[in-house]
Amino acid sequence: MWERLPEGWKQELKGALEAPSAEALERFVDQERGEATIYPPEEELFSAFQLTPPERVRVLILGQDPYHGPGQAHGLAFSVRPGVRLPPSLLNIFKELQSDLGLPPAMGGSLVSWAEQGVLLLNAVLTVRAGTPNSHAAHGWEEFTDAVIQAVSARPEPVVFVLWGGYARKKKKLIDTKRHAILEAAHPSPLSASQGFFGSRPFSRINEALVARGREPIDWRLPG
């Protein structure tokens, strides 16, 4: 499993990968793949890391758990493959994107173009059993992805961390708040989007924070 992680990230996460929890996690995921359908497929497990090398990270958007329906998860938080019906949270993200920046609706739910620009779309847990949300929580992924957040925070370049919802906001303690910008809001889930996600204008605020720190803004346009 870990051999699929790009070399640049292996260097950044050396301590986490050498920890006993990483070996135990690999055994757990391998066993699960032998017994059930696990998303995303193994070859897409580290898509976020492959598309966004550590030195290119400008924004980190933290999700919680991969989508657990067929054909949805492909290794990027909130994103789905082209042609897949938009999940409710992603639909709300696109509504806010349109409201914030006046962009036309995207035709599909792939966020690859954001990842290629330096938006690390990181889930706290990177695998899930089909049809069973949070089934791989508390098996070691959190230790690994906490290390990812800390590694990004430790890099010299300023980054904008986007924490949507109570779960993500708990990770604030892992971030050097003196050097990095943090945007917090309600989660885009239909259960909470109306409680502070809608109207939070995350996309324009991310770009304002990047420009204020001397970094290039993100082009949030998606294929129409």
Task: Give the mean pLDDT per block of 10 residues along the chain (224 residues).
Answer: 97 96 97 97 98 98 96 97 94 97 92 98 98 96 98 97 96 97 97 96 98 97 83
Residue 139 within a domain: yes
Residue 121 within a domain: yes
Residue 223 within a domain: no
Domain range for residue 191?
2-212
| CATH classification of the domain holding 183 | 3.40.470.10
Look at the chain and report how many structural domains it folds into. 1
Task: Report which residue type is found at 222.
Answer: L
Dihedral through CA 70, CA 109, CA 86, CA 95, nearest 10? 160
Residue 37 within a domain: yes
Give the span between the Cα atoms of 206 and 134, in whole angstroms: 28
For residue 146, indicate whether it is catalytic: no
Residue 175 within a domain: yes
Catalytic residue among 30, 65, 100, 219: 65
The pTM (predicted TM-score) of the whole model is 0.97
Residue 218 within a domain: no
Residues 147-190: tens digit of each pLDDT: 999 999 999 999 999 999 999 999 999 999 999 999 999 999 99
- Block residue for tokens 């991969």: 66
Residue 221 within a domain: no
Residue 51 within a domain: yes
